[in-house]
Amino acid sequence: MGSYNTVNLEMGSFNTVNLEMGSYNTVNLEMGRYNTINLEMVYKCVFPVMLVSSFLSLFETHVALLKSVISVSYSATSYVEYTWIEKEIYKSNEKQNSAMGNMWTFFLRQTERRRKNKKLRKRLKGQTVGKFILGNIVNKGCSSVIYAIKQDNGDVPLVAKVLDDSFSESMVHEFEVLRRLDHPSVVKAADLFRLKSACVLILEAVMNGDLQDNILRQWPLAHGRRRAWAFQISSAVEYIHSMGVAHCDIKLENIMINSSNKIKLIDFGSAINVFEAQPTKESLEMIAITPEYVPPEILCQRLTEPENYDVRMMDVWGVGVVFFLMLTGRFPFGEVDGYHISTFIDTIASSDGIVLKEEEELVAACETGYIDMLRHALDFDPNERSSMKDILSMEYLN
């Protein structure tokens, strides 16, 4: 897929679509007077082009929407250009314009971070940052690279979270938030450094994987393990809420497990000071970057007075989703990955509560306290949804 790969759609008097793949492979599709398109042939020809993007699954589910595209001249040379045609398609569905616009903004930002982080993955090993020497890479994400820190035996294990300097604002914010917090289930920050082209955050090392990995390794979770983790998660989130902080990105991947099988809440880059920031409709939608964990009042745009919304209710819903996953191994309302986000939004909009499968009901019969806690955390009305303080005081956790 080089500079020669172009897709030209010419709607002339003969309604011909010319797809040019490379210098030799040409496919001409003749269309009738009603401008109908042989979607099967278009899909087969465009499929190689879509490999350029990591969002191939989205294209597969939107093939039918190509009927709405009348004329396009498109070069499949970059992800940014590919998003243009997708955005044009989304314009036909007003219901999801706002949510999808913000999703695309997030995806583009993450794509740019991945590109810049590739440079960070090789050049910093062995370098000295302050009094710390960076060792091997221990983890890689779309937003950051995690390096081990070489230390003398007996020192508290630390890691360095490195982000390209052009995206360092969130890391500086994260450090400022973590300096205010002191809880056994919240990761601790030791220092922050600004280099010429990178930002380095020194953190407490939590090396036993995230909650998702541990659920998979230990599935099905024993009652005692699930109850212990539920208590630690609730305690950590209730604590940060009492300190005026909303995490705003509670999910399995942001809950780590240490070598003692204890919870550590991480990644405060999206955190909000609830006593200082007044939420707006736009700011709330930009926070909502992981759809499966986003509460219905944000995803379905149900807030009539966003300035009066308690952002901590987003965390409560996210905790409820995590609790549901620990019990059932699935998301309560399905997953976005693999199909149109509007389908997921419709599922949430048409629901009024969680529904357990038949086999899950058998487990629930022995876990009535846990189910009760779930229903309070996953209440569709944010004004009726329990606070983390209320959940932490429920019988199941005491």
Record: fold of 117-204: Phosphorylase Kinase; domain 1 (3.30.200)
Beta bridge partners of 199: 163, 194
pLDDT tens by residue, 316-328: 999 999 999 999 9
Q: What is the CATH number of domain 211-397?
A: 1.10.510.10
- From residue 178, alpha-carbon distances to 74, 192, 197, 247, 360 in Å are 45, 11, 23, 11, 38
pLDDT at residue 369 greater than cutoff 70:
yes
Least confident of 46-50, 126-130, 378-382: 46-50
Please, is 316 exposed, middle or buried when counting C-beta atoms within 10 Å of its C-beta (0-12, 13-18, 19+)? Answer: buried
Dihedral (CA of 326, 356, 333, 310) sign: negative
Q: Is the pLDDT of residue 343 over 60?
A: yes
Is residue 105 pLDDT above 60, yes or no? no
Q: Cα–Cα distance between 181 and 177 in angstroms, integer?
A: 7
Model confidence, pTM: 0.71
Alpha helices in 243-385 (DSSP H): 281-287, 296-299, 312-328, 341-349, 358-365, 368-377
* pLDDT for position 73: 30
Q: Is 264 helix (H, G, I), strand (E, B) or coil?
A: strand
To the nearest 10°, the Cα dihedral for 342, 60, 337, 49? -120
pLDDT interval class at 307 (50, 70, 90): confident
Burial class (CB within 10 angstroms; exposed 0-12, middle 13-18, buried 19+) of 55: middle
| Assigned token pair, 239 | 């604590």
Nearest-angstrom CA–CA distance, 138 and 196: 23
Q: In the chain, what percentage of residues exceed pLDDT 70? A: 67
What's the number of CA atoms in the CB half-sphere (13 Å) around residue 200? 25
Question: Which of 39-53, 243-257, 283-297 is predicted least confidently?
Answer: 39-53
Domain ranges of the chain: 6-92, 117-204, 211-397
Residue 45 and residue 58 in contact, taking contact as beta carbons nearer than 8 Å: no
Tell me how far CA of residue 157 lies from CA of 102, 144, 151, 188, in angstroms: 37, 19, 8, 11
Mean pLDDT over the full length of the chain = 75
**205-219, 238-252, 261-275, 344-358, range with the lowest pLDDT:** 344-358
Residue 44 pLDDT level (bands cut at 50, 70, 90): very low
**Average pLDDT of the residues in 364-388:** 93
Q: Which segment of 17-26, 369-378, 382-391 scores lowest on mean pLDDT? A: 17-26
Two structure tokens written together for 116: 């810049």
Confidence (pLDDT) at 281: 75
User: Residue 93: exposed, middle, or buried by beta-carbon count in 10 A (0-12, 13-18, 19+)?
Assistant: middle
